Amino acid sequence: MSKACLVDLTKCIACRACQVACKEWNELEAEHTEFFGAPGGYQNPPALSSRTFTLIRFVEMTDNHGKLKWAFARSGCMHCQDPACASACPVGALRKTDEGPVVYDDTKCFGCRYCMMACPFDVPTFQWDSPIPLIRKCTFCADRQRGDVAITSVNDRPLSEESLARHRDSDRTPACVKACSTGTLKFGERGELLAEARNRMAAEPDKYIDHIYGEQEVGGTSWMYISNVPFDQLGFPTTLGKRSYPSYISPAMKAIPAVVTGLGLLLSGVYWVANRKAKAAKSAQKESEQT
């Protein structure tokens, strides 16, 4: 089973605790930014970067009465089921794990930045100001998810199975989800979260847009969103289609051995014909010289 995250944007109040927790857990440096520097006014910083893996976006829109209204959205890795970045990476530094996260290996990457070009959500970022740069992006706290429980006893008394399980669940929850106080973020099994999303939408059909963003986009993603505002207005790319991105390139990659073989046969055929022609021309020349 693979882990996933459901984001219910109707619950988000843009406290940005997730943004801060993400910085803390990943030990990311502060960014030098300007207030009101980004399009959303209060949004800060303006975009994802090698120092910001999670970003709450402030989308300004007008409500039915013509008044200014804010809608909040989140930027971060979608952890695609079949990720374009992993297919793009020439050295296999990016990889979709069975557990859900798309992880990156610092020791492999040589900085070609093809993953950044390939990502349909424009998530991977690059350390442009570093002489030893790496790609940076949300890890879905794969390190936390893999981790074992740190505390097994309290006052020398071992924890009960029940407490241990609770600790384990808590420790394995991504930092942003743990920090979310409004229930916007929910961590769990993908199938269960999809069912949960459908339940919420069925319970309040007037509130929600009838779409689970990430259920089918680019073949499905581990991070999924539900919202009361249409996704295109929130700045989500809505024309990506349901096809997984690697499937656009795999036919070309799979054709390679056949093309190599075919070209070998074709070229030798041409060579054979050209050679016969040359020989025929030569003997014809000889004959005409003799006569």
Contacts with another protein, residue ranges (CB under 8 A) = 39, 47-50, 84, 87-93, 108-114, 116-118, 120, 122, 125-134, 237, 239-241, 245-246, 248-254, 256-261, 263-265, 267-268, 270-272, 274-275, 277-279
**Beta carbons of 102 and 79 less than 8 angstroms apart:** yes
For residue 207, how many other CB atoms are within 10 A of its CB? 12
Closest approach, Cβ 48 to another protein, in A, equals 7
Min separation Cβ 97 and another protein, Å: 16
Q: Closer to another protein at the Cβ: 187 or 225? A: 225
**Shorter beta-carbon distance to another protein: residue 1 or 248:** 248
Residues 6+ apart with CB under 8 A from 21: 175, 176, 178, 179
Q: Which residue has the tokens 């991504």?
A: 174
Residue pair 224/214 in contact (Cβ under 8 Å)? The answer is yes
The CB-of-268 to another protein minimum distance in angstroms stands at 5
Paired strand residues for 52: 49
Residue 42 or 248: which CB sits closer to another protein? 248
Closest C-alpha among 223, 178, 234 to residue 197: 223
Q: How far is the CB of 89 from another protein (least distance, A)?
A: 6
What distance in Å separates the CA atoms of residue 31 and residue 46, rounded to the nearest whole number? 10
Of 95 and 168, which CB lies nearer to another protein in the complex structure? 95
Shortest separation between residue 201's beta carbon and another protein, angstroms: 27
